[in-house]
Amino acid sequence: MNKRIDPDLPSRLALELFQPKPNVLYSLDAAAHLAGVPRRSIMIYCRAGLINPIFQPPYGVIEFTEEAIYVVRQIERLRTVHGLDLAWLKTLFDLLDEVERLRAELRFLRNH
């Protein structure tokens, strides 16, 4: 039996592309929906320092940028595919930040 794949039908395994609008802030509910995770997960990632919400005074409303939503999706992938826990994720993200800082320093030194 030969199954044909219809390219017009989305695969269950296909990556859903997220194209956020620039300079838009998303509520906790919207961010959770767009990232495909429970609200609780996003709050856990905030407390762990993996993502940084934007606090809107005067009522302390928490909102998220498209970058934060992208990071949540990366975190979920690393947790599900590679089994990393929060401590490993924090270490990994800290190392990636350090690499980016060193790259920026190297670019600066090369230009001067």
User: Residue 105 belongs to a domain with what CATH number?
Assistant: 1.10.1660.10
Q: How many domains does the chain have?
A: 1
Task: Quote the pTM value.
Answer: 0.72
In a domain, 67, yes or no: yes
In a domain, 73, yes or no: yes
In a domain, 86, yes or no: yes
Tens-place pLDDT, residues 62-110: 999 999 999 999 999 999 999 999 999 999 999 999 999 999 999 999 9
Strand partners, 62: 55
Least confident range of 2-16, 24-38, 48-62: 2-16
In a domain, 84, yes or no: yes
In a domain, 102, yes or no: yes
In a domain, 107, yes or no: yes
Range of the domain at 47: 26-111
In a domain, 19, yes or no: no
Strand partners, 34: none
